[in-house]
Amino acid sequence: MVKRSTSGRVSPPAGRPKNKLLAALPPEDFARILPHLKTIPIKVRQVLYRRDEPVRQVFFPNGGVASITAAMNDGAMVEIATVGTEGMVGMNAFFGGGMLAGETMIQVPDTSAEAMGTDAFQKEIDRQGAFHDGIRRYSQGLLTLLMQSTACMALHHVQERCCRWLLMTHDRVGRDEFDLSHEFLAMMLGSTRPTVSVVAATLQKAGLIRYTHGHITIADRQGLERSSCECYSTVKGHFDRLGL
């Protein structure tokens, strides 16, 4: 059984990873896949998948934020989705694809991730049990995130998008402070470093964040929510309805 702490945050059962998909599995299902899980440390800029390389493992983050990017031929990249403890990285394995068109890297590190070979992953998916159902629900949430992010990038101002990204990261890391460089934030927002500097300074002047040397502190969560575009609440509501 998944327990809630006094603060309202969900705590995994004793001995389980912090990843919510794995923590929610029935005991017999988790025991079956446990021999196929390998806990690996994660660090900032760690690349989990490179462009056009085959997917040989999937990853279940126990903390932090992994960034899924789309890459252009000139090397430019823009973030299209992020993954935290609510999900998994390597969804191509679920859909039957073997290659990724971009890179996936760790943007905000925290503890570890559980790695699982794609053969063992597919074998468990084919059982059509609780593991399959959890991954299927997450795939629906990820698809919503991808669609909403596309619309957000086209229609909303960079400052609103920045607030959305900060809120999503705040939800995932579970703490008010985390490290994030101008370079990464610019890539995530599909913008330039000078523009990101202006946006960060504006949010800091408004008392919403404190940002010094790549270190961000969320100072006013409610203010960020008011300043964010509708995409944050739309995606969060969908994930909540899916129980993720």
Per residue in 52-98, pLDDT tens?
A: 788 899 999 999 999 988 877 777 778 888 999 999 999 989 987 66
Q: What is the CATH number of the domain that holds 220?
A: 1.10.10.10
1 contact partners, CB below 8 Å, separation of at least 6: 13
Q: Are residues 80 and 141 located together in one domain of the fold?
A: yes
Same domain? 216 vs 106: no
Answer yes or no: is pLDDT of 178 > 80.
Answer: yes
The predicted structure's pLDDT at residue 212: 87
Residues 6+ apart with CB under 8 A from 217: 176, 177, 209, 210, 211
Task: Judge contact between 2 and 10, C-beta under 8 A.
Answer: yes
Residue 46 lies in a domain: yes
Whether 8 and 91 map to the same domain: the answer is yes
CA–CA separation, 60 and 19 (whole Å): 6
Identity of residue 69:
T
Domain presence at residue 76: yes
pLDDT value at residue 51:
81
pLDDT tier for residue 7 given thresholds of 50, 70 and 90: very low
**What is the structure's pLDDT at 5?**
39
Shared domain for 41 and 78, answered yes or no, is yes
Q: What's the number of domains the chain is made of?
A: 2
Q: Give the pTM.
A: 0.88
CATH code: domain of residue 132: 2.60.120.10
Residue 186 is assigned to a structural domain of this protein: yes
- Both 177 and 105 in one domain: the answer is no
Q: What is the pLDDT of residue 24?
A: 95
Looking at residue 11, what is its pLDDT? 55
Domain that includes residue 61, residue range: 3-152
